[in-house]
Structure 1
Amino acid sequence: MNLTFSQKEKLKNILFHVLVGGFCIFMLYPLLWMVAGSLKTSGNALSATLWPEAMQFRNYLEGWKGFGGVSFLTFFRNSFFIAGTATIGQILLASFSAFGFTRTRFIGQKFWFAIMIATVLVPGQILRIPQYIMFNQWGWVGSFLPVILPQMLPVPFFTFLMVQFVRGIPTELDEAAEIDGCSKFGIFFKIILPNLKPVLVTAGIFRFYWSWNDFMTPLLYLQNVTKYPVSIALKMFSDPNAITNWGAMFAMTFLSILPTIILFIFFQRYLIDGVAFSGID
């Protein structure tokens, strides 16, 4: 059968959308299964069917009650505090580092920049024991400090992105500001920082996402249930000495991923711009 050019293009378009739609359903199936499980009874939550026989919205109420008198409101508040503080600190310190590597001159500048990039090759797991010994000697174990402060330190990947971005800002703007009597800090806050908006949002999204989902760090350092973030609280549903309420666990798991989804939806444009304009292909 001979097809015209327009018919071939239409057929290609249909096949493309069918394949993309099928792949999308395949990728979203675990999420849909989890949402469906949050609306089933605890005994049927693990069944393969996506449509529950009867909507069990009470799973959300039961899950929200939490454990030992501590509701999920406390766990969510702790997660927002940890992730929000770490994100703000990361954005400020990484942008300061990028400004120092691009707009100032000091001895061994290229060497220290190479050392910073080389730290990407160091696995975070090998730092667990030294960090724990150090924080324990300082008396920080049991507080939020060992959870938040290391995550505020500049991540080499974010610093590299910002360095590439700052290099694209004309130095003539700095020179004009210096003529007008602007200090280095003034140049940073009035010229550099406002122009870093896309890459700042990119770093912020990644830092918030990593901090929100972090499980091992709070598990090591937090000892009081009132300080647990959501990532640790979800683990408490799986108690080998009790019957697991799968419906409530799925309900709280679904609520726990909503902040990151909403954050990505609202800032995805800046995320794309931050990577595209920083010289990363």
Structure 2
Amino acid sequence: MNSPVRLGRWGRRALLYIIMVLSSLVMLYPILWMVSSSFKNSSEIFVNAHRLIPADFTLRNYVEGYNGFSGHTFTVFFKNSFIITLASLAGTLASSTLVAYGFARIRFRGSALLFAVMLVTMMLPGEVLTIPQYIMFQKLGWVNTFAPLIFPSFFGGAFFIFLLVQFIRGLPAELDESAKIDGCGHPGILFRILLPLLVPPLVTAAIFKFYWTWDDFFSPLLYLTKPELATVSLAVKNMSDNSFGTNWGAVFAMSVLSLLPVLLIFFLCQRYIIEGISTTGLKG
């Protein structure tokens, strides 16, 4: 009597797995196609676009693509991307931690209003700030420098501040009281007591900031016009030439290389992403 029920459960589970596998293949196919195209001859990329296995396997696309353009190899572009990303990452984590501690642990007049205003800024489209920011940075003489891409990070990020505030508020207030009895002020409480406990949300914030900065295309396009200052995302775009033809094999090859840091960080730190989000009340 129990066999049909048991078979029905196994059938539903098998169907669920099949749907998940097919959905994963649909999402992964563009990436697999890009990787496959990076090993194809340019003439084969669009002729046999449906084939994932190259008929004539070649590494020439990686050699030609890495040579870059305007006399600058992708070593320069990767270096630029890492400088901007790591500097922005350091600024965001430092400033967001300080602001989050203030909102979570220090009571002052107007704190609730300021916190609400900060949350509202997350709903503000970034395009609204583009023109005012560009005018300001142009007057400062920062166009064609890394400063417009790095400097704003040292004033915190609303999303990261909110994430850290949620985590800090979940920590027992008794920790602060014990530290005060031992003579700690607010800096001591933050750096000696709370900061070691903030590792999961800080790693989560670092991963998201790395992704968003590394993949950013619009900001470098807006502020960086010199070839030697280009980031990886901007360099990949500049490799396409509608007038003289585009070496799509080289473009796909450099696109694959640009994904490697992102994939490496994801696989190394994915448990911190899950832990950080699950302990800050940001569950889906």
Give the TM-score, by structure 2 length: 0.95
Matches of 1:87 and 1:18 in 2, distance apart? 39
Matches of 1:48 and 1:237 in 2, distance apart? 24
Unaligned runs of 5+ in 2: none
Partner AA of 1:239 in structure 2:
D
Matches of 1:98 and 1:133 in 2, distance apart? 30
Partner AA of 2:80 in structure 1:
N
* Among 177, 181, 185, the residue aligned to 2:179: 177
Residue of structure 2 equivalent to 1:26: 26
> Which stretch has the larger CA shift, 177-186 or 159-168?
177-186
2:111 aligned with 1:112? no
TM superposition outliers: structure 1 runs of 4+ over 3 Å: none
Partner AA of 1:36 in structure 2:
S
2:5 aligned with 1:5? yes
Give the secondary-structure state (helix, strand or coil) at the position aligned to 2:239. Answer: coil
* Among 215, 218, 222, the residue aligned to 1:216: 218
Shift of 1:237: 1.6
Partner AA of 2:200 in structure 1:
P
Residue of structure 2 equivalent to 1:35: 35
Shift of 1:48: 2.2
Shift of 1:175: 1.4
Partner AA of 1:265 in structure 2:
F
Residue of structure 2 equivalent to 1:132: 134
Matches of 1:228 and 1:269 in 2, distance apart? 32
Q: Percent identical across equivalent pairs?
A: 46
Give the secondary-structure state (helix, strand or coil) at the position aligned to 2:57. Answer: coil
Matches of 1:133 and 1:16 in 2, distance apart? 53
1:1-281 matches, cutoff 5 A: 4-46=4-46, 47-281=49-283
Partner AA of 1:200 in structure 2:
L
Matches of 2:61 and 2:83 in 1, distance apart? 26
Give the TM-score, by structure 1 length: 0.96
Shift of 1:3: 5.2
> Which stretch has the larger CA shift, 5-14 or 58-67?
5-14
> Which stretch has the larger CA shift, 32-41 or 168-177?
168-177
Unaligned runs of 5+ in 1: none
Shift of 1:187: 1.1
> Which stretch has the larger CA shift, 131-140 or 143-152?
143-152
8 Å contact from structure 1 (residues 214, 231) kept in 2? yes
Partner AA of 2:38 in structure 1:
S
Shift of 1:52: 0.7
Matches of 1:176 and 1:65 in 2, distance apart? 59
> Which stretch has the larger CA shift, 201-210 or 143-152?
143-152
Matches of 1:32 and 1:153 in 2, distance apart? 39
Matches of 1:268 and 1:96 in 2, distance apart? 25
**Cα deviation per residue 1:226-253 (whole Å; 9 max; x = unaligned)?**
1110010001121112121111110000
Matches of 1:270 and 1:142 in 2, distance apart? 36
Partner AA of 1:11 in structure 2:
G
> Which stretch has the larger CA shift, 3-12 or 194-203?
3-12
Give the secondary-structure state (helix, strand or coil) at the position aligned to 1:264. Answer: helix
**Cα deviation per residue 1:69-94 (whole Å; 9 max; x = unaligned)?**
20001101111111111112111111
Matches of 1:271 and 1:169 in 2, distance apart? 19
Shift of 1:56: 1.1
Give the secondary-structure state (helix, strand or coil) at the position aligned to 1:238. Answer: coil
Shift of 1:174: 1.2
Partner AA of 2:269 in structure 1:
F
8 Å contact from structure 1 (residues 151, 211) kept in 2? no
Shift of 1:11: 2.2
Matches of 1:244 and 1:153 in 2, distance apart? 40
Shift of 1:127: 0.8
Partner AA of 1:85 in structure 2:
A
